[in-house]
Amino acid sequence: MSRYHFMLIVSTIATLGSLYFSEVRGFIPCPLCWWQRIFMYTTAFYLIITLFRNRPVDAFFIRSYVIFGWAVAVYHVILERLPDGEALCTSGCLIKWVNYFGFLTIPTMSLIAFSTLLILAFYPNKKSV
């Protein structure tokens, strides 16, 4: 199994998790959540189509989407953690719908998923001898 298969698993789980929180639990995504979804969903759909059609993965495309999604997730978590973050966010993106273990919120889960994808996206290819 290649690193792209692991990326497919991570991005699919993150996609299904975000759909669960919004469609099943009824949590309303903020604008920053929507941007993260755009990057995560595109990554998942691209990998599904590419891997199942047995085509080569465009590393630049994947890395670009993962980097941009990771940057939005970092910004979202920083906003959430700042004491005056509510003053910086006017669109309700700091509602903590979930707070597992006192630190694991939805933006933090997104950051973990994007960080995992970022590591996998830049993991060096194994050279065959």
Token code pair at residue 64: 């670009």
- Domain contains 27: yes
pLDDT at 81: 78
The reply to whether 129 falls in a domain is no
Domain range spanning residue 83? 3-121
Domain count, the chain: 1
Q: What is the pLDDT of residue 3?
A: 84
What phi and psi, each to the nearest 5 degrees, are found at residue 100?
-85, 140
- Examine residue 105 and state whether it is found in any structural domain, yes or no: yes
- State pLDDT tens for residues 12-62: 999 999 999 888 988 788 888 889 999 999 999 999 999 888 888 888 999
Residue 128 placed within a domain: no
| Mean of per-residue pLDDT scores for the chain | 83
The dihedral through the CA atoms of 93, 105, 15, 21 has a sign that is negative
Please report the DSSP string for 43-67 in residue order: HHHHHHHHHHTT----HHHHHHHHH
Q: pLDDT tens digit string along 81-98?
A: 776 655 455 555 556 666
Indicate the DSSP class of residue 128.
P
CA distances from 1 to 9, 118, 126 (A): 11, 18, 12
Q: Which pLDDT value is given to residue 83?
A: 63
User: What confidence score (pLDDT) does residue 127 get?
Assistant: 60
Domain assignment present for 127: no
